[in-house]
Amino acid sequence: MTSDNYLEICPDDASKRLDFLVSEKAGITRSQAQRLIKYGFVLVNGNPESPNYKIKASDEIEVNRQEEDNLCLVPQNIPIKILLMDEHIVVIDKPAGLVIYPAAGHTGNTIMNAVAYHCKKLASIGSPLRPGVVHRLDKDTSGVMVVALSDEAYYNLVEQFRERTINRVYKALVLGDFKDDSGVIEKNIGRSDSDRKRMSTRVRRGKPAFTAWRVVKRFGHAALISAKLGTGRTHQIRVHFAAIGHPVLGDDAYGRKNALKIGKGQIDFPRQMLHAETLGFIHPITGEYLEFNADMPEDILSCIDKLEAARRL
């Protein structure tokens, strides 16, 4: 196994079963590998798969064995804004600063600890620490997300994300101004060869990634943009805009632009200025199209006001 729990996939591994590959690469028995897969500790391209999934040479496989040490999701009375909840799904307006589920370094105070408290039941699919999690937002990204509360909803939503039929629109404050009013970024994304915790467009075996964008407001030194995901690669918006020279402001990993000095003043960005504004999908049981919007949080609005004031000087 490579560092940071990612398996090294070789051309000869293509067409092998997932459970066989995990057993072989991680040095565990086939039954142990099947258990990890069953409980969601193994992700293929960020998604759960069945033990008999056939490996592709381009697949990225993550094995999170450290989660085995703590299989209990503790309900915690953490206030969260619920946009919709029924017996199959819960839609949340996630605040910045909360991770989605417990893992090494943050065993509690997560979105899933809150969901376990506020919801009567949880899906049984996925690991015991992240049941029903079908997509993720970074810790410092705010906005709309959905969690499946039933197994049927889980499988349906996973398929919608896989088929890229989910409508996902983000707002972000990015560095600099743009020549054009809109465009599409088409750059492959993969895990960085030099730092496995980061993603990059400068990789040999990246996956296709598409981000459509438009400028909402210009501030000279920065811009507010709207970005619609055509694919859902890890850190896609952050990586794509950094790659074209317009990193998300406040992003420590890809931009490292936590402040802007404008004239005699300075504007600080307390976290990455990225917000999941819109999430639209087909309800997994009723078949109805649902669309949810989360208002821009106060910290981003405050930065927008400061940028606007600086622009007028």
Domain containing residue 62: CATH number: 3.10.290.10
The pLDDT value recorded for residue 224 is 98
| Domain shared by 187 and 298, yes or no | yes
Contacts of 251 (CB under 8 A, 6+ apart): 238, 242, 257, 272, 273, 274
Query: How far does the chain reach from its first CA to its final CA, in angstroms?
Result: 55
Given pLDDT bands bounded at 50, 70 and 90, which one contains residue 4? low
| Domain shared by 178 and 242, yes or no | yes
Instruction: Let me know: does 192 contact 158? Beta carbons within 8 Å.
Output: no
Considering 162, 188, 210, which residue would you say is the last residue of a domain? 162
Residue 303 lies in a domain: yes
223: nearest Cα among 163, 185, 187, 273 = 273
234: nearest Cα among 43, 45, 8 = 45
Encoded tokens for 36: 């990890």
The SS3 call for residue 21 is helix
| Domain shared by 197 and 300, yes or no | yes
Residue position matching structure tokens 């009567």: 120
Residue 289 lies in a domain: no
Residue 189 reports pLDDT greater than 60: yes
| Other Cβ atoms closer than 10 A to 71 | 10
Considering 162, 192, 213, which residue would you say is the last residue of a domain? 162
197 vs 13, residue with greater confidence = 13
Give the residues across from 186 on adjacent strands.
210
| Domain shared by 181 and 246, yes or no | yes
Average pLDDT over residues 113-123: 94
| Domain shared by 180 and 304, yes or no | yes
| Domain shared by 189 and 272, yes or no | yes
Residue 155 reports pLDDT greater than 70: yes
Going by the DSSP 8-state scheme, the letter that residue 97 receives in this structure is: T
| Domain shared by 60 and 87, yes or no | no
Encoded tokens for 118: 């506020």
Residue 1 reports pLDDT greater than 60: no
Residue 153 lies in a domain: yes
Give the residues across from 62 on adjacent strands.
6, 43
The pLDDT value recorded for residue 286 is 97
| Domain shared by 213 and 277, yes or no | yes
Pairing between β-strand 142-148 and β-strand 89-94 as defined by DSSP bridges: antiparallel
The pLDDT value recorded for residue 127 is 72
Domain count for the chain: 3
| Domain shared by 215 and 113, yes or no | no
| Domain shared by 128 and 206, yes or no | no
| Domain shared by 301 and 174, yes or no | yes
Q: Is 242 exposed, middle or buried (0-12, 13-18, 19+ CB in 10 A)?
A: buried
How confident is the model over 211-230, as pLDDT tens digits?
999 999 999 999 999 999 99
62: nearest Cα among 22, 102, 30 = 22
Residue 153 reports pLDDT greater than 80: yes
Average pLDDT over residues 183-189: 96
Percentage of the chain exceeding pLDDT 70: 96
Residue 106 lies in a domain: yes
Contacts of 312 (CB under 8 A, 6+ apart): none
| Other Cβ atoms closer than 10 A to 160 | 17
Q: Which amino acid is at 172?
A: A
What rounded mean pLDDT belongs to the chain?
91
Pairing between β-strand 190-191 and β-strand 182-186 as defined by DSSP bridges: unpaired
| Other Cβ atoms closer than 10 A to 304 | 19
Pairing between β-strand 182-186 and β-strand 210-218 as defined by DSSP bridges: antiparallel
Average pLDDT over residues 105-115: 88
Strands (E), the chain: 42-44, 61-63, 81-85, 89-94, 142-148, 167-175, 182-186, 190-191, 199-200, 210-218, 222-229, 259-262, 265-268, 274-282, 289-293
Considering 162, 184, 214, which residue would you say is the last residue of a domain? 162
Q: What range does the domain containing 22 cover?
A: 3-69
| Domain shared by 9 and 61, yes or no | yes
Residue 288 lies in a domain: no
185 vs 124, residue with greater confidence = 185
d(CA 81, CA 181): 33
CATH of the domain at 149: 3.30.2350.10
**Catalytic sites, residue numbers:** 138
Residue 75 lies in a domain: no
